[in-house]
């Protein structure tokens, strides 16, 4: 019960922090020498034209006040073994991404989940372009496509999609998207051919635009982070909430690292060359999508030469094995919070179990059993303390009758009783406190792991990431809580006893809308605890009866 109350308080605290908590200020990094020579411009949002204005030797964007719709040109349709992508000829933006191996719902296996789109209801797109005092294509420029349909053939491991832009002055830019088989990484290259008599200088920018999550995107009754994320070797993983973007624009120079927009189970991230220093930025124009991005160091292309800007775009699930291979720290987008150090080994163990039995539901059950075995001695101490307290109930009731409303004398008498019987009244709570971080870490593993999304268990449970359709597991959970409560010593205070009796019903309603994987864990944990507590309580009561 102590763990249950702590768990609820944690959820309430997280919800309060989300709505009313103070927002941390973004830490400003010292500009690197390489970045000082780069343009500190940030690309504007697609509803406003980019006006290149020379100011103090730098390029600065100018945002127009009027609100226009996102510019649209022709759509280039690209299909690989994992992705269904639409690229717009305006800007060469990635405007739509469907994940073919991840259905939108378990009962709609032929409808893929749409990670990115540019509808009036929801905007989540990836953009890239060039900034230069000389002619250069930004995300408003119109590219020419060789064709509008591409598909990764059965015998090929790579698919290249080139777009072309040419200026009257002789600058040719080829923007190429490179798709690989069995990969959610899209390599994006800007090849700049300088046909002028003078050198060309410019920077590449890459950014993600996202509107605030819709009601359909927010999980019910649980909180998961949706917003911006950056990673740097110095500060590691940092979340940037949309409210932070409204309050202050991020402006930081980072060597390596990456920027991303994350949501429950999925992520879109730009990864630059890890040996270069990029300028990271955010923007939150009023009434428009939020922007997070980065600008590369300046590149000089001599006449008759070709220069290359190179980046990677990851658009896909928070699959830790894949993310680790893409970039350092990218697997941290699977956000286990402050208990990541505990959650990662738990996830590894659960994944190992799944590799043997190939069922995530049974993996949760076996993992819970193993955790209970690890903490068996602590639990035994706790249950023995509770059982001893239970045998003392007749004496405690007698003390209450003797001292009535004299709370001070009552407390002194109870302490003397505990001392005489060698009972620690906190003995039942302290072992549980040690276990709480592990159970909370397991909660986040079950909540954040995309592997459990639409994972089939058995019988009526066909998706461990959604609620039980018939509410059978929540009812079982309420029943196990009630049984466990009956095994505990009743509170001496009648009002407190009534409150405790109501908790199983409250928790049943509370967990009715939780993901069934979480409820399955709770039912399993409670059932094992009941068996263990019943056995220990019965043994102690027998010893107490023989002693009499």
Q: In this structure, are 326 and 392 located in the same domain? A: no
Q: In this structure, are 331 and 348 located in the same domain? A: no
Q: Tell me whether residue 7 is in a domain.
A: no
Residue that finishes a domain, picked among 283, 304, 335: 335
Q: Tell me whether residue 8 is in a domain.
A: no
Q: In this structure, are 274 and 365 located in the same domain? A: no
* Distance set, CA 463 to CA 317, 466, 515 (Å): 17, 6, 8
CA distance 461 to 359: 12
User: Given this model, what pLDDT does residue 27 score?
Assistant: 38
CA distance 52 to 134: 10
Contact yes or no for 437/339 (Cβ under 8 A) = yes
Q: Please, what is the end-to-end C-alpha distance for the chain in angstroms?
A: 31
User: Given this model, what pLDDT does residue 21 score?
Assistant: 47
User: Given this model, what pLDDT does residue 423 score?
Assistant: 67
Q: Tell me whether residue 12 is in a domain.
A: no
Contact yes or no for 367/520 (Cβ under 8 A) = no
Domain range holding 365?
344-547
Q: Tell me whether residue 244 is in a domain.
A: yes
> For residue 481, what is the enclosing H or E element?
helix 472-487
Q: Any idea what the CATH number is for the domain that residue 86 is in?
A: 2.70.98.90
* Distance set, CA 270 to CA 125, 192, 301 (Å): 12, 20, 24
Helices and strands in the chain, H and E counts: 13, 22
Q: In this structure, are 319 and 380 located in the same domain? A: no
Domain count, the chain: 2
Q: Tell me whether residue 25 is in a domain.
A: no
Q: Tell me whether residue 250 is in a domain.
A: yes
Q: In this structure, are 359 and 329 located in the same domain? A: no
Helix (H, G, I), strand (E, B) or coil at 153: coil
Helix (H, G, I), strand (E, B) or coil at 263: strand
Nearest to 279 by CA among 257, 264, 302: 257
CA distance 282 to 248: 8
CA distance 257 to 271: 7
pTM of the model: 0.79
**pLDDT one digit per residue (tens) for the chain, 548 residues:** 555 555 555 555 554 454 444 443 433 334 344 333 333 333 343 333 333 333 333 443 333 333 445 778 999 999 999 999 999 999 999 999 999 999 998 888 899 999 999 988 899 999 999 999 888 999 999 999 999 999 999 989 999 999 999 999 899 999 999 999 999 999 999 999 999 999 999 999 999 999 998 777 776 667 789 999 999 999 999 999 999 999 999 999 999 999 999 999 999 999 999 999 999 999 998 888 999 999 999 999 999 999 999 999 999 999 999 999 999 999 999 988 888 889 999 999 999 999 999 999 999 999 999 988 888 777 777 667 766 666 677 777 777 777 777 777 777 887 877 777 666 665 556 556 767 788 788 888 888 889 889 888 988 998 888 889 899 999 999 998 888 777 776 666 667 777 777 888 888 888 888 888 889 988 998 898 888 878 877 777 677 666 65
Backbone angles phi and psi of 357, in degrees to 5: -105, -10
Q: In this structure, are 329 and 432 located in the same domain? A: no
* Distance set, CA 442 to CA 239, 358, 450, 465, 525 (Å): 22, 19, 14, 14, 12
Q: Which two tokens stand for residue 530?
A: 């009941």
Q: In this structure, are 329 and 350 located in the same domain? A: no
Q: Tell me whether residue 330 is in a domain.
A: yes
Nearest to 371 by CA among 338, 341, 345: 345
SS3 content of the chain, % helix, strand, coil (to 5): 40, 30, 35
Q: Tell me whether residue 2 is in a domain.
A: no
User: Given this model, what pLDDT does residue 1 score?
Assistant: 52
Q: In this structure, are 408 and 391 located in the same domain? A: yes
Q: In this structure, are 329 and 289 located in the same domain? A: yes
Q: In this structure, are 362 and 494 located in the same domain? A: yes
User: Which segments within 247-289 are labelled E, that is strand?
Assistant: 251-255, 258-263, 266-271, 277-283
Residue that finishes a domain, picked among 302, 335, 368: 335
Task: Give bridge partners of residue 99 from the DSSP assignment.
Answer: 83, 113
CA distance 33 to 106: 51
CA distance 156 to 427: 64
Q: In this structure, are 70 and 209 located in the same domain? A: yes
Give the gyration radius of the chain's Cα atoms.
30
CA distance 331 to 321: 8
Q: In this structure, are 323 and 399 located in the same domain? A: no
Residue that finishes a domain, picked among 308, 335, 362: 335
Helix (H, G, I), strand (E, B) or coil at 250: coil
């Amino acid at each position: 019960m102590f763990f249950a109350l702590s768990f609820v308080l944690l959820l309430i605290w997280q919800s309060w922090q989300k709505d009313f908590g103070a927002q941390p200020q973004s830490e400003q990094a010292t500009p690197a020498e390489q970045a000082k020579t780069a343009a500190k411009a940030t690309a504007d949002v697609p509803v406003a034209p980019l006006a290149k204005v020379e100011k103090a030797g730098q390029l600065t964007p100018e945002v127009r006040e009027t609100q226009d719709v996102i510019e649209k040109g022709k759509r280039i349709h690209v299909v690989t073994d994992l992705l269904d992508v639409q690229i717009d000829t305006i800007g060469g933006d990635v405007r739509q991404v469907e994940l073919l191996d991840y259905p939108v719902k378990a009962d709609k296996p032929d409808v893929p989940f749409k990670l990115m789109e540019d509808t009036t209801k929801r905007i989540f797109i990836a953009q890239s372009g060039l900034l230069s005092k000389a002619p250069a294509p930004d995300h408003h420029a119109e590219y020419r496509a060789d064709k509008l349909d591409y598909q990764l053939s059965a015998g090929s491991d790579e698919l290249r999609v080139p777009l072309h832009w040419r200026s009257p002055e002789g600058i040719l830019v080829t923007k190429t998207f490179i798709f690989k088989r069995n990969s959610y990484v899209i390599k994006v290259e800007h090849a700049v051919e300088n046909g002028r008599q003078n050198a060309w200088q410019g920077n590449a920018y890459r950014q993600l635009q996202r509107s605030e999550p819709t009601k359909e995107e927010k999980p019910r009754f649980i909180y998961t982070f949706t917003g911006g994320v950056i990673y740097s070797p110095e500060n590691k993983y940092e979340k940037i909430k949309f409210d932070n973007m409204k309050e202050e624009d991020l402006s930081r120079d980072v060597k390596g690292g990456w920027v991303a927009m994350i949501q429950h189970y999925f992520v879109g991230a730009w990864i630059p060359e890890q040996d270069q220093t990029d300028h990271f930025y955010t923007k939150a124009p009023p009434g428009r999508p939020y922007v997070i991005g980065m600008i590369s160091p300046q590149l000089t292309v001599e006449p008759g030469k070709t220069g290359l800007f190179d980046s990677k775009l990851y658009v896909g699930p928070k699959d830790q094995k894949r993310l680790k291979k893409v970039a350092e720290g990218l697997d941290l987008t699977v956000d286990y919070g402050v208990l990541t150090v505990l959650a990662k080994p738990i996830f590894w163990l659960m994944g190992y179990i799944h590799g043997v039995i190939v069922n995530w539901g049974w993996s949760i059950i076996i993992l819970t059993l193993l955790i209970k075995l690890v903490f068996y001695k602590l639990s035994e101490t706790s249950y023995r303390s509770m059982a001893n307290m239970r045998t003392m109930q007749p004496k405690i009731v007698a003390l209450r009758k003797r001292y009535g409303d004299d709370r001070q004398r009552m407390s002194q008498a109870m302490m003397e009783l505990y001392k005489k019987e060698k009972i620690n009244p906190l003995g039942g709570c302290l072992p549980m406190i040690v276990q709480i971080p592990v159970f909370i870490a397991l909660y986040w593993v079950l909540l954040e792991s995309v592997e459990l999304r639409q994972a089939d268990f058995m019988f009526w449970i066909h998706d461990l990431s959604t609620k039980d359709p018939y509410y059978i597991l929540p009812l079982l959970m309420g029943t196990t809580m009630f049984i466990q409560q009956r095994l505990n010593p009743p509170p001496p205070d009648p009002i407190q006893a009534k409150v405790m009796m109501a908790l199983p019903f409250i928790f049943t309603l509370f967990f009715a809308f939780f993901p069934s994987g979480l409820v399955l864990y709770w039912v399993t944990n409670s059932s094992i605890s009941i068996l263990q507590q019943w056995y220990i309580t019965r043994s102690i009561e027998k010893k107490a009866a023989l002693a009499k």
